[in-house]
Structure 1
Amino acid sequence: MKLIQISSHEAKNPTELSLRQAFELFEPKLRPPFALTIPNPQEYLFLNKAILYGVLCETHVGKAHMKHLHAIVTDGYCCFVSLLVEVVNELYVKLLEPVKSRLIWVTKELINVLAVGVEGLLVCLLRQILGGDFSDGNLWLCFEMATIFMSKWDYLLQVDPMILTSGLYTYLRLLADHSRFVSNPKLEALKQLEIDFCIKVLKEQFPLCLKVGRDLVRLLQDLVHLSKFRAIWKDLVLNQGEFKARGFYGIPQLYNTRTPSEYMLLRITPEMEAQLRFLLTHVKLGNQKRHQAWFAKKFLWEPNRETLIIDIVRFICCAHHPTNEVIQSDVVPRWAVIGWLLKSCTKNYVEANVKLALLYDWLFFVERVDNIMDIEPAMLLMVYSIPRYIDITLTLLEFLFLLMENYDVEHYDILVKGVSTSFSVLVKRGVICSLDVLTSCDALSPILQQAQQVFVR
């Protein structure tokens, strides 16, 4: 009876060991008839661990273990859910396949009883779905989680309605990958389920969707080639009343809402997050190459995984904001890691989306609403790429001004103001001393020289 698969040379996992030891200690108490005594706090914790191990490993008596849990629970299932979250975050990739199936089953059971913290468990499971991964196991988890969101819709509205927006953000992003493979029959049922869920959230719970902010627009624009999303986009532009959201006045309202960093975390796994934060907090500039090579081999080298770079750049810009102590140290800065990621792109459409992810907040920047740390990496990447990597500076500036001119011609004034404010605030707040390093660069192309007026607005 095993929870995880580990090699003979690997050390025992402390989380798995703790659960197994609790199960072995309390196993006599896990068989009916169950004791009616109220356990003390320490016994309660160990009993929860033992029941969790039994639920995940003893398929034939899983329902009995859950009945036992229902009988002894005194905290709204908070302890049990927190243990499950720990299992998902630390062990998911090593769990045996039958255990993963039991994990989904017990998650559904916890939703049915409106367990405290179950929305956090759903977020952890969503984070285990890898973008650009078309393996059977990953597609299975995609399907199971989408099924949960659809089948447990009413329960989730009671638990925490905002969890639906986490599912929406995740599946809009995944659909951008999945819809590129139109000839893969294994994807068809999954794509239809993902589309149905996203459309249901957008149509029935649009006031919640507004809290996602401007990244909702970015994700929707990646899907307008699908007819149902094209209809949603048309209503966003022309028929705002279709969404039945009081006070909603159109796309500018989304532009003016900064997307909370929690959404950026949804598209990278906890392991990826830990490695990126380590790189950006402890590794000295000049020593990062081997760490970057390990990260790329671990997460990016599989076919189609390159689209993960888009999500990583959004995470670095909007969810990882180093302290002043780190900024002033010799730790590898965010702009250097983003420069490496940008150079790692081999597909044109991925590179374009990575640039959009990097520069997106520039288009709508409002000083009282937005965080300067979101736009700082792009500015420093452009500045520090001169003169050795001048091609990066040029391509980013050209892309920024092309975005300003073409991203949304109906709201051109918002974009011009956003870009102008971005440059102004970056100088005012001392990120760079002045814009002379850009405006005086001899390598500026004619199109950029014409656009210099934006620098000084």
Structure 2
Amino acid sequence: MLIKVLLHEAENPLEITLREAFCCLEPKLRPPFPLTIPTQQDYLDLNRAILYGVLCEPHFAKVHIKHLHGVITDGYEYFTSILIKIVNELYFKLVDSVKRQLIWVTHEMVNVLAVGFDDLLVALMRQIVGGDFGEENLWLCFEMVNLFTSKWDYFIEEEPLVLSSALYVFLRLLADHCRVLSIPKIEALRQMEIDFCERMLREKLYLCLRIGRDLVRLLQDLVHVPEFRAIWKDLLYNLSAFRTDGFVDISQIYSTRTSKFYFLLRITPEMESQMRFLMSDVNFGSQKRYQIWFAKKFLALPERKTVLVDIVRFICCAHHPSNEIIHSDIIPRWAIIGWLLKCGVKNYVEANLKLALFYDWLFFDENVDNVMNIEPAILLMVNSIPKYVDVTHSLLEFLFILLDNYDIERKEILLRGVSTAFCSLVRKGVVQSLDALTSCDMLSPFLKERLGKLLSETQFPLVPSLFVKCEKSSSLHTDYTKAGCSN
């Protein structure tokens, strides 16, 4: 038995397929094994049968895996693909003994350098839920960081890029784990995560730099941890400590846009599926019950709400709706983010959420960045007027706080990025002008003055009318407070 099935639930088709293959071929799964060469279909069935045996017969797993080694002809590609499918579709339903075997067989696939083992590791890391301090989730964290630590040499030699994925995951998890001091089981895990990330940053910075600018965002969230504070100082003032050719200033990281692949690492496949459904199939105005369901499923506990930061980065950078959806009645991305902002989070989470929303603004370069990454923030500010002008005010105020404080020594880079972002949004037709912000009587004079100064210094063309072209017009408003979360 692979999964826990409730009385009212139908059996899972994937489990049925694996179990039937095992039952049909069980006599052939015991030594002595037949010497005949299987047909293509027989080979696929044998892979499924052996996998089911490995997962459900722990006492016989070593025999099954030796059998697999003896018959394999495709570099374990099909076997690994089934494992990935199990992780993506069934992990949260797997019985505990199967989860343990899943980790065991993952080690085996790394040992033999199976085709697709890197994708299997990514799939497992995505099942680690941010802000979840339950025993089962912490166990998976421990197993994964232990795997990366124990197989370090394998990855460096054969698949080094998977280490950058692991770094992104564990830096993000550490932001949660370092804020919790009352759970003894976290202490050993936290130190293992710190040791792995420190080793990556100290010894393999060239791999870490592949993450791009979000690497800086994650490191700054850990600056209170002594090991990362030391790394941060070296990044700013002692780059020779890293012995990385061609790396001369942290601004080089700012200029590298983070691939959407990394943002997918910190939301589970189920979260991704539900979010994409919401932004692809639900009409604006009909989203309330779906948002309530999502909040109850993924945000019920206060500590779980740190995942909102990851969701906002996913929405901005990894989910870009088609023109057909943009011009339809489907709920727009900015409205979803407006709802998330009203989900009653702690101050530091709210600040990180806003930073996630504006992060690409700070370093925006039309030759590198996609205007769709910065679109939700401008549309949220514009469309919140006049009904939710407090949202507009708080976001615009936060943007100027970032300009003044994020990196004082490189403020010119930030000013250029934000002004370029505003220019690009108008030039690309996301908004026809910024008059809704510069002329809004409900916004504080100070904010309007600062915005006007920023735009005038860059010789920005101000058009006296505003027309929102992309996603939804400013006449559309969403009722954030009735979307399943409370302040």
Using structure 2 for the length normalisation, give the TM-score: 0.93
- 1:71 is displaced (CA, Å) by 0.3
**Cα distance between partner residues in 2 of 1:227 and 1:108:** 32
**Cα distance between partner residues in 2 of 1:327 and 1:7:** 39
Q: Give matches, 1:87-166, under 5 Å.
A: 87-166=86-165
- 1:346 is displaced (CA, Å) by 2.6
Q: Give matches, 1:239-388, under 5 Å.
A: 239-388=238-387
Who is 1:212 aligned against?
211
**CA displacement 1:149-191 (0-9 Å, x = unmatched):** 0000111123310100111000000000010012321110000
**Cα distance between partner residues in 2 of 1:315 and 1:325:** 20
Alpha carbons 1:435, 1:455 under 8 Å: kept = no
2:456 maps to 1:448: no
Who is 1:180 aligned against?
179
Alpha carbons 1:310, 1:354 under 8 Å: kept = yes
| Alignment-mate amino acid for residue 13 of structure 2 | P
- 1:345 is displaced (CA, Å) by 3.0
Alpha carbons 1:398, 1:447 under 8 Å: kept = no
Alpha carbons 2:81, 2:116 under 8 Å: kept = yes
**CA displacement 1:249-281 (0-9 Å, x = unmatched):** 121000000000000000000011000000000
| Alignment-mate amino acid for residue 269 of structure 2 | P
Who is 1:76 aligned against?
75
**CA displacement 1:347-377 (0-9 Å, x = unmatched):** 1111111000000000000001001110000
**Cα distance between partner residues in 1 of 2:18 and 2:248:** 52
| Alignment-mate amino acid for residue 159 of structure 1 | E
Three-state SS of the structure 2 residue aligned to 1:284 is coil
Aligned residues: 456
Three-state SS of the structure 2 residue aligned to 1:455 is helix
Who is 1:428 aligned against?
427
**Cα distance between partner residues in 2 of 1:346 and 1:99:** 36
- 1:75 is displaced (CA, Å) by 0.7
- 1:204 is displaced (CA, Å) by 1.2
- 1:444 is displaced (CA, Å) by 2.1
Who is 2:461 aligned against?
none
**Cα distance between partner residues in 2 of 1:346 and 1:317:** 20
**Cα distance between partner residues in 2 of 1:4 and 1:64:** 23
Alpha carbons 1:119, 1:159 under 8 Å: kept = no
**Cα distance between partner residues in 2 of 1:325 and 1:131:** 33
Three-state SS of the structure 1 residue aligned to 2:258 is coil
| Alignment-mate amino acid for residue 454 of structure 2 | V
**CA displacement 1:396-426 (0-9 Å, x = unmatched):** 0000011011100010000000000000000
Q: Which moved more, 1:155-164 or 1:414-423?
A: 155-164
Who is 2:198 aligned against?
199
Distance 1:25 1:424, change over 3 A: same
Percent identity among equivalent residues?
Answer: 63
- Runs of 4+ in structure 1 deviating by more than 6 angstroms, as ranges, are none
- 1:302 is displaced (CA, Å) by 2.1
Q: Which moved more, 1:341-350 or 1:206-215?
A: 341-350
Q: Which runs of 5+ in 1 are unaligned?
A: none
Distance 1:303 1:344, change over 3 A: closer
Q: RMSD in angstroms over aligned alpha carbons?
A: 0.8
Who is 1:38 aligned against?
37
**CA displacement 1:210-265 (0-9 Å, x = unmatched):** 11000000000000101000010000000111111110012100000000000000
Alpha carbons 1:362, 1:422 under 8 Å: kept = yes
